[in-house]
Amino acid sequence: MNAAFEPEKSLRSPSELAEAGLIGRDRLAALQDVAARYAVAITPEVARLIDPANPADPIARQFVPDAAELIAEEGESADPIGDDAHSPLEGLVHRYPDRVLLKLVNACAVYCRFCFRREMVGPGKGALSPHALAAALDYIRATPQIWEVILTGGDPLILSARRMTRVLDELAEISHVKVTRIHTRVPAVAPERVSPALVRALRAYIRKDRACFVVLHVNHARELSANARAACARLIDAGIPMLSQTVLLRGVNDETQTLGALMRALVECRIKPYYLHHADLAPGTAHLRTTIAEGQALMRALHGRASGLCQPSYVLDIPGGYGKSPIGPSYLVADGTTVEDFTGRRHQYPPHQKTPLDGAPQGTPPGDI
């Protein structure tokens, strides 16, 4: 999009953004105050997608700092989803019985302006120390109900393939850990990091009879550039399935056509839409949040008008550490016998009605879903 500027390295300060033409110099003073508090990084891949002539550009809105970030709203918190309340050890969050988050690194390739861990990540924050990582792995070994480990951060895929291999080798030796999930923006924002060595590391893990899923954080269809699609294809072609997570953001993807285009683009890339997150109550992010009612209306608009493959689960991470809950619209009216179709028309379903399978001859197929 920004064809006049071809950056060779990540842009990490308002001054560099101004030199690249991504912001006006009249904004420098205000944005330097923002950058002093919250990290800034825009990779060359992302910089090329930004249209500096469009003040409402949805890519810029996600990554270019805004003076509104210094305005704190009531209810916002440095730990909006309550990680600390469920962190038995440094780098580990154990909120649900069968899975843990393992925060390998506290830095990212890019820094989102709505990040719910924005107070905890940034340049120089570093990776989990060898001692802390060993303690976290010991905890996982000693907790047999842990079936899944979610590698997060920061962004775990900024680590080298060698370091990722070491972590995956350790996890593969824990008999009760059957699944590893990697949450990342890297394939879209720094696709060159999806190297043959990284693909081999993930492939080696699944060859040890373990499942590995890569979950791509992407919020707008334009982020799925040709380079990003090729990076995702390298993973998928190697047998590593991909899911997506998207944050619902005002001015980025809060229109039916925009959100639908993203979900279809993901499916075209063989990536299954997984979560649509309601934006968390992170400090200075009110200008990017929608209402829950707006999110539910968007999900209603997608339902029936886009393939079932394109339907993510709309979820809210309850403030205080109480976990995710689905908050999508309900189509069953309170009386329990009236259901709405995707156009909003209401239909009666008799109470105590047998399902089509009840009393059906053995082997009768239930039909396509």
**Segment 70-120, tens digit of pLDDT:** 999 999 999 999 999 999 999 999 999 999 999 999 999 999 999 999 988
Mean pLDDT (whole number) for 215-234:
98
- Does residue 121 contact residue 39 with C-beta atoms inside 8 Å? yes
Say yes or no to pLDDT of 1 above 70.
Answer: no
Q: Does residue 237 form part of some domain?
A: yes
Whether 237 is catalytic is no
Identify the residue whose tokens are 């309601």.
278
Query: 41 and 129 share a domain?
Result: no
Q: Does residue 353 form part of some domain?
A: no
Residue of 57, 115, 193, 300 marked catalytic: 115
Say yes or no to pLDDT of 267 above 80.
Answer: yes
| Burial of 366 (C-beta count, 10 Å sphere; 0-12/13-18/19+) | exposed
Whether 112 is catalytic is yes
Give the pLDDT band (50/70/90) at residue 178: very high
Q: What confidence score (pLDDT) does residue 367 get?
A: 47
Query: 174 and 317 share a domain?
Result: yes
What are 327's two structure tokens? 């908050």
Q: Which contacts of 4-10 are long-range, i.e. CB under 8 A and separated by 24 or more positions?
A: 5/47, 5/48, 6/44, 6/48, 7/44, 7/47, 7/48, 8/44, 9/44, 10/41, 10/42, 10/43, 10/44, 10/109, 10/110
Higher pLDDT, 138 or 355: 138
Query: 95 and 158 share a domain?
Result: yes
Q: Does residue 172 form part of some domain?
A: yes
Say yes or no to pLDDT of 368 above 50.
Answer: no
Q: Does residue 208 form part of some domain?
A: yes
Q: Which of 326, 341, 358 is the last residue of a domain?
A: 326
Omega cis (within 30) before 154: yes
Residue of 83, 92, 84, 181 whose CA lies nearest to 138: 92
Give the pLDDT band (50/70/90) at residue 355: low
Query: 185 and 235 share a domain?
Result: yes
- Does residue 45 contact residue 194 with C-beta atoms inside 8 Å? no
Q: Which of 326, 345, 361 is the last residue of a domain?
A: 326
- What is the helix (H) or strand (E) element at residue 164, kind and residue range? helix 161-172
Q: What confidence score (pLDDT) does residue 207 get?
A: 95
For 5, 143, 268, 294, 350, the CA distances from 298, given in Å and listed in that order, are 35, 40, 21, 6, 29
Beta strands 346-348 and 338-340: pairing type? antiparallel
Residue of 74, 9, 13, 20 whose CA lies nearest to 38: 13
Residue of 79, 155, 254, 280 marked catalytic: 280
Query: 241 and 193 share a domain?
Result: yes
Q: Does residue 317 form part of some domain?
A: yes
How much is the pTM?
0.91
Q: Calculate the CA dihedral of residues 102, 106, 108, 110 and round it to 10 degrees.
A: 130
Q: What confidence score (pLDDT) does residue 334 get?
A: 76
Q: Does residue 140 form part of some domain?
A: yes
Range of the domain at 50: 14-70
Whether 95 is catalytic is yes
Residue of 48, 51, 96, 210 marked catalytic: 96
Query: 193 and 245 share a domain?
Result: yes
Q: What confidence score (pLDDT) does residue 265 get?
A: 98
Mean pLDDT (whole number) for 217-240:
98
Q: Does residue 342 form part of some domain?
A: no
Highest mean pLDDT among 114-118, 178-182, 300-304: 178-182
Q: Does residue 362 form part of some domain?
A: no
Please report, for the domain that includes residue 104, its CATH number. 3.20.20.70
Whether 9 is catalytic is no
- Does residue 242 contact residue 226 with C-beta atoms inside 8 Å? no
Query: 61 and 105 share a domain?
Result: no
Query: 66 and 145 share a domain?
Result: no
- What is the helix (H) or strand (E) element at residue 300, kind and residue range? helix 292-302
156: region left, alpha or beta (phi > 0 left; psi from -120 to 50 alpha): alpha
Give the pLDDT band (50/70/90) at residue 354: low
Query: 216 and 108 share a domain?
Result: yes
Residue of 83, 112, 185, 300 marked catalytic: 112
**Segment 28-68, tens digit of pLDDT:** 999 999 999 999 999 999 999 999 999 999 999 999 999 99
Query: 284 and 155 share a domain?
Result: yes
Residue-averaged pLDDT of the chain: 92
Polymer length in residues for the chain: 369
**Segment 126-145, tens digit of pLDDT:** 789 999 999 999 999 999 99
Q: Calculate the CA dihedral of residues 301, 302, 305, 308 and round it to 10 degrees.
A: -150
Residue of 61, 108, 229, 254 marked catalytic: 108
Q: What confidence score (pLDDT) does residue 121 get?
A: 85
Say yes or no to pLDDT of 3 above 60.
Answer: no
Q: What confidence score (pLDDT) does residue 337 get?
A: 85
Cα 122-94-135 angle, rounded to 5 deg: 75
Domain count, the chain: 2
Give the pLDDT band (50/70/90) at residue 364: very low
Instruction: Give the whole-number percent of the chain exceeding pLDDT 70.
Output: 93
Residue of 151, 161, 227, 208 whose CA lies nearest to 184: 151
Residue of 61, 66, 95, 155 marked catalytic: 95
Whether 26 is catalytic is no
Residue of 163, 184, 178 whose CA lies nearest to 99: 178
Query: 27 and 92 share a domain?
Result: no
Say yes or no to pLDDT of 365 above 50.
Answer: no
d(CA 302, CA 215): 21
The C-alpha R_g of the chain, in whole angstroms, comes to 22
Whether 272 is catalytic is no
Whether 96 is catalytic is yes
d(CA 41, CA 47): 10
End-to-end CA distance of the chain: 40
Q: What confidence score (pLDDT) does residue 344 get?
A: 86
Whether 117 is catalytic is yes
Residue of 37, 203, 250, 324 marked catalytic: 324
d(CA 66, CA 76): 17
Query: 37 and 128 share a domain?
Result: no
Say yes or no to pLDDT of 209 above 50.
Answer: yes
Task: Return the number of other C-beta atoms located less than 10 Å from residue 253's C-beta.
Answer: 25
Residue of 12, 27, 48, 99 marked catalytic: 99
